[in-house]
Structures are given as structure tokens and as C-alpha cells.
Structure 1
Amino acid sequence: MKNLIATSLALGVLAIGSLGMTPFRGTARAAFAERIPNRESLRTAVFAGGCFWCTEADFEKIPGVVGVISGYTGGQTPDPGYEEVCSGQTGHMEAVQVWYDPEKVSYSFLLDWFWRHVDPTDDGGSFVDRGGQYASAIFYQDEQQRQLAEESKSRLEDSGILKSPVVTPILPLGTFYEAEAYHQGYHERNSTRYRSYRCSSGRDAFLRNVWGDKKDSMEPVLGTNPAKPSQEELRCRLTPLQFKVTQEEGTEPPFDNEYWDNHAPGIYVDRVSGEPLFSSTHKFDSGTGWPSFTQPLEKENITTHEDRKLLSVRTEVRSRQGDNHLGHVFDDGPNPTGMRYCINSAALRFIPKEDLEAEGYGDYAPLFE
């Protein structure tokens, strides 16, 4: 049914071309991304969720999403057209490129929203549209997106919300090709046809049945945190050094920072998010002038990423929920782990053992008994 509707719209676009106006085809389609304002301050995320008319409309509802572009990705045919993709021979999937403001919405929330607007248990298509070109997928652009996507998928699998296994793949993003002009904003320009298609496709019935009122909730449902505080808010909350370290991946001076020589018992939490990161029980004097630990207090609160900024390959350490830069980890530490987590004091807040209960970290008090 979707193909029939789209074909009639395509004929209208071809008619425009016959009058001397160029329909969006080939490289001309790149004009859609160029229309998005303040692109240099935005980030992008790419998702496939079946019919891109629906996926585009769903993501446009999110505050902080500046623009959504329908297109094709994941296949082998360069610059494919709609009919080619529909044939199932190009390997491409209908997908959307989401342009969002990271100060207003996080990638983690976009993932949470994605799961609530697709059928991730169907690898043969989506709802009434059949074929691999209509299946769901998450396309990551870097290691951080991949990790967050894998974690989000695991939370969905562990939630027990779905009755069947989650089959949505998490794939590296290749080239994203913008779709023809008549597909962009279809839900707004052809609202009657769009509503008819969406209703009869079975999409909304499935989503209501699974998620109920949570489908369009602006609060995360699968255990993710709300959007990260804006850069403006963080500049107010943090000192210039704390902001430079946590938000701009800076490094504080050695031997001239708050905790390098701190020997008091207690735990170290993320300066911004408060998530528990390290314990004094794992702290040691590395001679480097920065707080050093043999292991994290809570491994699930730490993420690692490849860092090539200083003409060498290092492993960056970030907090998982806060997504704040902490420092780096090296394999030259003492036993029993052989690891050295070299962390900036400016990224941490120390909570003495006697304050753990009052600060809401009482579960860690037994570590110091």
C-alpha cells in the first residue's frame, strides 16, 4: 500500500521536472541537510524503523530534535532511488537521519524513543511493509554510539516488555542517501493519506498494545537518564577547570589538584551526575600526581573509548550516565589488576566514609568497616 501512495506522489514530482524545475534526485537531494540551521552545533543519529514517513514523524516530536531527513542506507548501490530500494535488490533500508541538539536531548534518550516506536522483534520487515528494506536497525557513527546502543538493547531485552526476542541489528553507518523530495515531511504535506496508511499498517495498534501511555512519554522508559544538562547550566555549576576537564576533555596539572594525595577512606563519584566511580580501597600512589585506582568501584558506571589526540593511542575513561570525561586507563598498574585508572580530580567529588549515609551512598559503608 505504501508503494502505491508513494508512486502517485512521485508522478507529481516528475511532472514538476517536465516544467523545467529539477526534482530532488542524486546529489540535489543533499539540499535537505543544508537547510538545517546551526548544523555545526548539532549531532546526528541514524535509525531504520520501517516506513520512513512514520519514523520521521515520530522523531520530530522530540524537543531538541531540529530536523529529521528520510533516506536510505546499509546497502551496496550508490545513490539509490526509491523504486530501487523498494525492489529489495540494493541492500538499503529506509532510514532517517536525526539532527539533534545534544544540550537539549541525549543520544541515550533517542535510543529509548526508537525502541518505543518500532517492532524490534520482526526481521522480515515492519508491520504491513515486508522485506529487509523495511526492517529495523540502529546505525552507529562511533564507538560511543555503538556502546550506548548495545546497552540500550540489553535493557530492552532484560525488561521483559516484549514477548519475542529483539532482532534489531546494531550496524556501522555507511553513506546515508537522502530520499526524494516527495518523501520529506510526507506526514505533514499529505496528512490524510499518511494517517490512513499509518492506521491500516498495524503500527499504532502494535505500539499501543506494547507500550500504552509510555509510547510518547518524554521521560525515558528503559532506565536511561534524562538529557544531560546544557553546556550553559554546566558552566554555572562547574569551575572553569572542572568544565574544561569534564566537557572539553582537558587535563589538570599533576601534583596540583584536589585528590592526588588524598588518603582518607571514602568513595569518589562523578562531579556532575553523582554516579559512584572509584573507592579509596582501590587507590594507590602512582607517582604521576593524579588520583590513581586499580579498578572502578562500579564497572558498569565506566565506559572506555579510543583516544588518538596526542599522536598516540590511549584509552579514555568516561562516566556512563553523565558521559563526562574522567581521564585515561593504562596497563602499568600494580596487582591484582595490573591497571592504572589515572583520573582528574576535577571530574570527581570525594565523599568521606562518615558522610556516605547522609549523602545517599549508605550501601558502600560496609567497604570501610
Structure 2
Amino acid sequence: MDTIGFGGSCHWCTEAIFQSLKGVSLVEQGWIASFEPDDAFSEAVVVHFDAQVISLQTLISIHLYTHSCTAIHSMRGKYRSAVYATSHGQAEQAAAIIETLQAEFAAPVITKVLSLVSFKLNTSNYLDYYYSNPNKPFCQNIINPKLTILLEKFAGNVDTQKISSPDL
């Protein structure tokens, strides 16, 4: 099993997206810090995946399409757009993938490739947030549109036992 971290939007959103994929065995939701100067923890997830089932390129592509990977906004400290690599080789591969995917976006992709140095797991009452609370307004208004994008662009990678229709 391989691991990689992703941040860019609310960790509840990011958790739901990656929990919905074939080949992902575990998504840990919380906060990640890296080696960045003046680094603070940022909302993110650690994804445990089987590279024989879902590729790193597919995971990164899904990540870029399901959060505002080209938007610079005032909440970027809390919601850093990043891929958190667990090795130097993975970091090099992630950077090359993002560079290749840039052609699919009109604006520059701001997603950084950083080292996953430290992770703090969220409290248990917030874990598995979407699948435990799918009818809450936040889930309906914020997470469902991201899952709809996932279904539209990456249907072959979606675990249909979890989600299967744009109506969610």
C-alpha cells in the first residue's frame, strides 16, 4: 500500500472524494505540516492506496479537478493547495504529473508538491464526515457538487457501492 497526502479544500470534502475511489483502502483526515518555511498545519488527508488499482496520476488529477487548484484566496493558509509526498521519488513524480496536467487548466495550477512531515488526525466525531452525515447542509451544498464532478470526470475510478448518481 502506498500513501500520499492531499490538501486544497476542507478536509471533510477531500476525505469524501478519496473515500469514494476504487483502490483507496483508508483516508485519514486532519492536518498536515511540511518543510515549508514558517509552515503551519493545513487541513488535508493522507490517502492509502493500491497503485495497481489506481495510479498516482489519477489521484492527482482527481485532486486538481475537485478543488480550486488555480485559485489564490485568503483561506489558502488553512486550505493549502498541495500534494504531500512521502518520498523524494514520489515528489518528483507528482511534480511531473502536475506539470503535464497544467495543459488542462486555463489558469496556472498553484498546487505545490511538499513533503509530508507531520500529520495530526482529526477527532473521531469528525472522521468519515460525509458518509456519516450525507444529509447535513454542508454535505449537500459543498461536498455533493465535488462528488458530482468526480462522477462526471472519473466514473471508472469511483466505487459504485459508495456513490453512483449525480443526485447523490
**Mapped contact 2:134–2:140 kept (Cα < 8 A):** no
Moved over 6 A (4+): none
Deviations 1:43-95 (A, max 9, x none): 2111113111111111111111111110111269xxxxxxxxxxxx9721111
Distance 1:154-1:64 versus aligned 2 partners, 3 A rule: same
Q: Which amino acid in 2 is paired with 1:72?
A: W
- Are 1:186 and 2:167 matched, yes or no? no
Correspondence for 2:12: 53
Distance 1:60-1:75 versus aligned 2 partners, 3 A rule: same
Distance 1:112-1:133 versus aligned 2 partners, 3 A rule: same
Could you tell me how far apart the structure 2 residues matched to 1:212 and 1:65 are?
16
Correspondence for 1:91: 40
Distance 1:44-1:212 versus aligned 2 partners, 3 A rule: closer
Could you tell me how far apart the structure 2 residues matched to 1:202 and 1:111 are?
18
- Are 1:117 and 2:55 matched, yes or no? no
Give the 3-state SS of the residue equivalent to 1:218 in structure 2.
helix
Deviations 1:72-121 (A, max 9, x none): 11269xxxxxxxxxxxx972111101111233222222112211211101
The sequence identity of aligned pairs, in percent, is 25
Correspondence for 1:158: 103
Unaligned runs of 5+ in 1: 1-41, 77-88, 220-369
Greater CA deviation, 45-54 or 103-112? 103-112
Deviations 1:241-294 (A, max 9, x none): xxxxxxxxxxxxxxxxxxxxxxxxxxxxxxxxxxxxxxxxxxxxxxxxxxxxxx
Could you tell me how far apart the structure 2 residues matched to 1:202 and 1:105 are?
22
Distance 1:203-1:189 versus aligned 2 partners, 3 A rule: closer
Could you tell me how far apart the structure 2 residues matched to 1:131 and 1:71 are?
16
Could you tell me how far apart the structure 2 residues matched to 1:109 and 1:169 are?
17
Per-residue deviation at 1:136?
1.6
Could you tell me how far apart the structure 2 residues matched to 1:212 and 1:105 are?
15
Give the 3-state SS of the residue equivalent to 2:156 in structure 1.
coil
Could you tell me how far apart the structure 1 residues matched to 2:129 and 2:40 are?
23
**Mapped contact 1:69–1:97 kept (Cα < 8 A):** yes
Count of residues in correspondence between the two structures: 154
> RMSD of the TM alignment (CA)?
2.7
TM-score norm. by structure 1 comes to: 0.38
Distance 1:107-1:75 versus aligned 2 partners, 3 A rule: closer
Could you tell me how far apart the structure 2 residues matched to 1:218 and 1:188 are?
20
Q: How does 1:250-269 map to 2 (within 5 A)?
A: none
Per-residue deviation at 1:198?
4.1
Correspondence for 1:144: 89
TM-score norm. by structure 2 comes to: 0.79
**Mapped contact 1:124–1:132 kept (Cα < 8 A):** no
Give the 3-state SS of the residue equivalent to 1:191 in structure 2.
coil
Q: How does 1:1-369 map to 2 (within 5 A)?
A: 42-74=1-33, 91-124=40-73, 130-159=75-104, 162-193=105-136, 196-201=137-142, 204=145, 208=149, 213-214=152-153, 216-218=154-156
Give the 3-state SS of the residue equivalent to 1:71 in structure 2.
strand
Distance 1:74-1:124 versus aligned 2 partners, 3 A rule: farther
Unaligned runs of 5+ in 2: 158-168
**Mapped contact 2:16–2:130 kept (Cα < 8 A):** yes
Per-residue deviation at 1:140?
0.9
The structure whose Rg is larger is 1
